Structure formats: C-alpha cells, structure tokens
Chain A
C-alpha cells in the first residue's frame, strides 16, 4: 500500500476506531543520522500515552514531527481523522494554480492588444490580471485552512505546518521552556488562544464591539486556564519572573488556550522536586478528567510514567523497542537493557 493510500484508509478508519492520532512508518533522517526509524504509533482518544527512552533516542524528534515542526523523511501521520503529515505529493502542481490567473490574464491582454483593442481596455485588463495574480499568490503564501482542505481534491498534498496542527487541535509544551519571557502570564495564555480568537487587525484598529467583547471574554477565559493549572495571582507577572515550576505550569496553560484535543507534554516534570512532581501528576490527570484531553507524554521520571500512563512506548536509537501497559514495559528485558546496558556475561 502506498503512503497516500494508507493515509486515506487511516483517515476513514481512525474516526471509527477511536484513534486520535495514528503514525505509520515515520522516519526522519538528518543527513546520515537516522533520528527516528520506521515508527508506528497510535494514540487512542482520551488516553494518556507515554514515550520514553534514553537520551538521544529520538523522542523529541518524533514529537516535533507530530507537531509539524519537522517534515518526515517517510511516513504518514493521521490526526483527528485527517491526514496531516506526510511527504508532499504533486507539490510541483501548486505554483501552476498560483500563476494560472496571471497566465490567462497576460495571454488575454496580448491577444487583445494584437487585435487592436483601445489602450483603456488593455489597461483595465492588465489591472485585473495584476490583482488576480496578487490574490492567488497571497493565498498561496498565507495558505488559509480552506485552501489547504481543498488542495487534496486535485491530488496535491503538503505537510501541515505547526500552526496548522494547532488549528487542527494539537497543543504542546517544550522540553526547554519556551515561554514569551517578556510578556505577562496572562498575555502568554492569550497568545496561546490566538487560533480561537477571531478579531482581525481591522477590528482592532476600529475597536469594534466584537473586538472589545472578545478581548474581555478571552482575558476571562485565560484567567480560568491559569487557575486550572494552579497559578493564582500571577496574571500581571512577567513570565521570566515566575519560579521554574510555575513556568512549566504556565506553558501548559498556554497550550490549553487553543482548546486542544491532544496535548503533547515534553518532560513536564523535568527539574521539579517530588512535591511539585506529585502536583504535576495530579494536574495531568485532571486535564484528562475535566477537559477530556488526550495526552502524549515524554518523561524521564519513571514514577510519573508508570503512575499515569495507559500505555507506554519505548524508543531507543530511533527505533521502537517495546510497547504496552506500564507493567509489561517494566518487565521487558529489551527495555532494561536499553536503560541499564546488556547484562555482563
């Protein structure tokens, strides 16, 4: 089965099968280095799935592929019933669509002028051509969601970019915290809500009632997310002035802002003390029960992984070496070997 055919098949399957995300044969090479090799991976809706493995096993690379940051060398990712990430197909066709109105316009103008049309008409035709060309190019550059959804109908496929994945319902945090340091906590969450707010620059400029109402409601909702992750009274605090644990929480609040279906957490308890870790476990559990989120977790702390995961996948050297319930994985000799080295003979 070709990747394209698989993508279509999975797209129809995963809605019925209760899979929120399904990755098939995902491979990523950086030059000669194979960071991730032929990984099949599924995330059932409503579950907490963990991805573990020693340092350099390719966990974060896999994460970044799912989040749309890296294009995979091979493989398909189907998210929420839609094929989102794969190698481009017939991408060469796309520029033809952009330039088609321009070509037609120029041809028409040339024909008209060779048939002796008056200057005024030619001027108008050239103007229309220019406007048409500009607008198609603008659509091609901006890639609005509707344009992207209609592309597969003519057989063109382009891998989703990070913002497309967020639009489709994926939220993420980073391994090394990447908050907007010089914005307040509230502003950070508001940036996270970007995809869900509808006010445009025109609304903002003329301060339309819609814009004012939306801003007010958004701030209220953002405060709700801050409370949910356990940050109180820090709305106006700069992100960089928050203590480390709070910064991790703020990153989760920011990711929640886009109302994701799937939340990717990259080492959420890294550098936390045992009490903070316990609080984080409780928080992740609450996210599932209260918001109905599905969570994909990368984690080094085995206590965390074993206590909250429904399923655990183990990567080593870019390959999947084990998969199953926490108990199965803990007993798997391959996993023990990957973490502790081969037993001495």
Chain B
C-alpha cells in the first residue's frame, strides 16, 4: 500500500530519495501497527513519553525553571488532572452530557481514602483496596446523581450538576464528625503497595504509579469508544430520538457514562489524597470542574489522547508558567507587567483562550474525527475534503 504515495510523487516530478522512501515506509508501518494493536501503541508511547519526561526534566530547558523533583511532583499533579479529564471526557465528549459538577466525584474518592487511611479515623486500610473502593463509591454517587437528572437535557442538566458540585464540598465541610470540617483530614497515609511504602520527598514512585494508572485508563477508554456502548453514546449525542427508535435504552446508556466518568474521578481522588496527604473541602471547588472542562475543550472533546494533552498543558500553564511569568517580570522590572499577578488572572486567561478556541478551532487542539465532522457540519467544502481523504487514509493503514 505504500506504493500509493510514491506514484503521486512521481507524477509531481520530484525525485524520490531513498531516505524519504524509507521514512515513508516506516511511517506507514507504524500507522498500520497503531491501527492493529492500539493498546500496545498506548503502552509503548506512554512508556516512552513518561521516561523521556522523567529524565529530560533534569536538563534544559526544564532545569532553568525548577529542580527535577519539583517537576516530577508537578507532573504527578498534572496526572491527576489528566485522569479527571479522561473521565469527564466520557460524560461530555462521548455521551454529550454537560457535567459542571465533576469535582464532586473527585471529592468522594479523596475523602474515602482520607477516611480509610489516616490517623483521624484510626483506620489504615490497604491502598489498592481503597483505590478500588474509592472508584466504586464515586460510581455509586455518579448513578445517584444521574438517575434523577437524566431526564433533563442540555442547560437543565448542566445546572443540576453544577448544584451537585457545589453541595458536595459543603456537605464534607459540615460533616465535622467524619471529615474534620474546615481543617480537613491531614497526615493521610502514603500509599503502600505490596510492602513498599512511597517515600514523601522523592516523587518517583508516585510518578510511576500515575503513569501506569493513566495508561490503563487510556486503554480502557479507547476500547469503550469503539464498542457497542461507545456507538450508543455517539448516537445519543447526535440524535437522542433516533437512538431510542433504534433500541438504545437512553437512560441506562447515559447512566453508564455518568458512572464510568465518576469511577475515573474516584481513582483520581484517591491518588490525589495519597500524594498531598491532606484533604480539605477547598480542593474540590467549582474551579476544578471548570479547569477540567476547559482542558477537554482545549484538548479536543471526544478524543482521549487530545484531552490528556489538553489537561497536561493547562495544568502546567496554571501551576508553572504563570508563576514563572510573575517571577520573571519581577526580576526584570518590566514596567506595569511586574505589578500584575498572573496567577490571579488565570481564569481570565482561560476564558480568553476558550473564546479564541471557539472562534478559530472549536474542535480542540487534537480533535476526534467525529467531533470535527460535527462541528464543521455547515462547512460543505471541508466535508467534501474529508470524503476524498477518507479512503486514502484507510488505504495507508491497510
């Protein structure tokens, strides 16, 4: 099949260098491999990315900003956001349900771990057990929220979930007896897996754990996307009535999306609590839901890989870039700019970024094919282009 591009380049009159041909052949081979063995592709690319990021963070340009360990710690925090984004992507990107209270499920996971493994409750349960339990509890609350609200559509669903997201932290704040109220639960146990306790200062263990969890979640999410239920979600997103008229039980299908999204948030909550070793109600405010949602929009709604990249970028902008901008401006004594606290303006900047995205690239940085088609439905030319390109792309992958 690699013959196809070569013929075209002959037509254009260019002389094909053997090097170029070999490159192209390799690329075709890699694409073919990625199509046939998607899970392995994810494992391999995640491993390469994680190892590269780990060692590179000790060298320029990373080392100009902060030490390697600080970078690794930041990457682990970013990993929490990646997990959240992957989970919310199931609800928003796959099933098309706007959920503005996603941080609530994150809170359930975090509080479950804090309650199950801290001096506060005098319980010190197994980390892996709590990881699973946190996900299950979050899923149960996902269903509990979903069941009464799924009759609602669009705006109404968004308002309901927004309310739920606001209520949950307040409940945790007021349930003094179990959550220690405003002070939160401190001194949470560090994870202990098969007798290996994670050290507090060196973050490598967390980094490895996070990379593994993200890889697994990514594989599962991609498999969901191409399955019977993934098609059902896409059908509901496109035309709910037609989906129901084709035998899809819209209620259970949407509930599954809610539950699976919440499960991922439960994982993220447990991991976050075990890393920070403190859980308090301020960690689960609306801004968390908002940042996760914007990272989905930024990364490319519906495409797990794009969403993960979006979350990674957004977290690093928020946690590293804006702080560095402050420090740089102050050090250089730039007039006016040195007095601005960029961290305070992060939501303004996110807002501007979102507006710009909506105007120029509504499908996100790395969009899913299907979402791109939906958003450019009016654009007749591009759909013709896609129709012409589609068989070609299929050819290369064969």
Q: Which residues of A contact B (CB under 8 A)?
A: 67, 69, 134, 137-138, 141-143, 161-163, 166-167, 172, 174, 178-183, 187, 190-192, 194-195, 197, 199-201, 203-207, 211, 215, 236-238, 240-241, 254-255, 257-258
Nearest-neighbor residue (CB-CB) of B39 within chain A? A207
Q: Are A204 and B228 in contact, with the CB atoms below 8 A? A: yes
Query: Could you tell me if A180 and B227 are in contact, using CB atoms closer than 8 angstroms?
Result: no
**Chain B 355-398: CB-based contact to A (< 8 A → 1; otherwise 0):** 00000000000000010011001000001101100110010000
CA distance in complex: A69, B150 (Å): 17
- Dominant secondary structure at the A interface: helix
Besides A194-B228, A258-B247, 8 new A-B residue pairs in contact (Cβ under 8 A), listed by A number: A162-B241, A182-B377, A187-B231, A195-B247, A201-B260, A211-B227, A236-B390, A240-B383
B247 touches A134 (CB 8 A): no
Q: A134-B144, A180-B235, A182-B238 are in contact. Are A163 and B244 (CB under 8 A)?
A: yes
B250 within 8 A of A: yes
Partner pick for B250 among A163, A167, A197, A207, CB 8 A cutoff: A163
- List residues of chain B with CB within 8 A of the CB of A69: 241, 244-245
A182 to B231, CA, bound (A): 11
Whether B224 contacts A204 by the Cβ 8 Å rule is yes
| Interface residue? B10 (CB, 8 A) | no
Q: Is the CB of A142 within 8 A of B377?
A: no
Interface residue from B147, B245, B256 paired with A172 (Cβ < 8 Å):
B245
Given A138-B143, A207-B223 in contact, is the A194-B238 Cβ separation under 8 Å? no
Shortest CB-to-CB span from B375 to chain A, Å, is 10
Task: Tell me, yes or no, whether B327 is within 8 Å of chain A by CB.
Answer: no
Q: Are A166 and B377 in contact (CB under 8 A)?
A: no
Complex contact B234–A178 (CB within 8 A): no
Q: Whole-angstrom distance between the alpha carbons of A190 and B228 in the complex?
A: 8
Residue contact B227 to A201, C-beta cutoff 8 Å:
yes
Distance between Cα atoms of A187 and B252 in the complex (Å)? 20
Bound: A181/B260 CA distance, A: 26
Please judge, given known A-B contacts A163-B247, A167-B247, whether A142 and B255 are in contact too, CB under 8 Å.
yes
| B328 at interface, CB cutoff 8 A | no
Residues of A within 8 A of B39 (CB): 207
Supposing A178-B242, A182-B373, A183-B238 touch, asked if A204 and B251 sit within 8 A by C-beta, the answer is no
Structural contact, A162 and B227, CB atoms closer than 8 A: no
Given A141-B255, A178-B241, answer yes or no on A204-B249 (Cβ-Cβ < 8 Å). no
Say yes or no for B319: interface residue by CB 8 A criterion: no
Most buried by A among B39, B140, B144, B227: B227
Residues of A within 8 A of B248 (CB): 163, 191, 194-195
Which residue of B147, B244, B246 is within 8 Å of A141 (Cβ)?
B147
> Which residue on B lies nearest to A141, using beta carbons?
B147
Whether A194 and B247, one on each chain, are in contact in the complex, defined by CB atoms closer than 8 angstroms, is yes
A-B interface pairs (CB < 8 A), number: 134
Given A180-B239, A182-B373, A204-B228: A137 and B147 interface contact (C-beta under 8 Å) = yes
Most chain A Cβ neighbours within 10 Å, of B247, B250, B387: B247
Task: Determine if A200 and B241 form an interchain contact, defined as CB atoms under 8 angstroms apart.
Answer: no
**B28 contacts chain A at the CB level, 8 A cutoff:** no
CB-CB under 8 A from B226, the residues of chain A are 204
B residues within 8 A CB of A172? 245
Q: CA of A191 to CA of B247 in the docked complex: distance in angstroms?
A: 9
Nearest residue (CB) in B for A131 is: B140
Q: 7 tightest A-B contacts by CB? A: A204-B227, A166-B247, A195-B247, A178-B242, A162-B244, A182-B373, A142-B252
> Are B370 and A182 within 8 A (Cβ)?
yes
Residues in A neighbouring B250, C-beta threshold 8 A:
163
**A281 CB, nearest partner CB in chain B, Å:** 24
User: Contacts A138-B143, A178-B239, A205-B220 hold; do A191 and B227 have CB atoms under 8 A apart?
Assistant: no
Contacts A178-B241, A183-B234; is A241 near B387 (CB within 8 Å)? yes
For the complex, give the distance between the alpha carbons of A203 and B256 in Å.
Answer: 14
CB <8 Å contact, A191 and B394? no
A195 to B243, CA, bound (A): 11
A163 to B249 alpha-carbon distance, docked (Å): 6
* Complex-state Cα separation, A138 to B143, whole angstroms: 8
Rounded to whole angstroms, the CA-CA distance of A166 and B235 in the bound complex is 16
Task: Determine the chain B residues whose CB is within 8 A of the CB of A138 once the complex forms.
Answer: 143, 147, 255
B110 within 8 A of partner (CB) = no
Task: Please determine whether A134 and B140 come into contact, CB atoms closer than 8 angstroms.
Answer: yes
Q: Is the CB of B229 within 8 A of A200?
A: yes
Bound form: Cα–Cα A313–B242 in Å: 26
Residues of A near B373 (CB, < 8 A) are 181-182, 238, 240
**Assuming the A-B contacts A180-B235, A241-B383, are A204 and B246 also in contact, with contact meaning beta carbons closer than 8 angstroms in the complex?**
no
Write out the residue numbers on chain A whose beta carbons fall within 8 Å of the beta carbon of B220. 205
The reply to whether A182 and B256 form a contact with Cβ atoms under 8 Å apart is no
- Find out whether the CB atom of B227 lies under 8 angstroms from the CB atom of A142: no
Most buried by A among B228, B238, B384, B386: B228
A191 and B223 form a contact (CB under 8 A): no
Distance between Cα atoms of A187 and B226 in the complex (Å): 10
Is B230 an interface residue, CB under 8 A from the partner? yes
Check if B227 sits within 8 Å of A199, measured CB to CB. yes
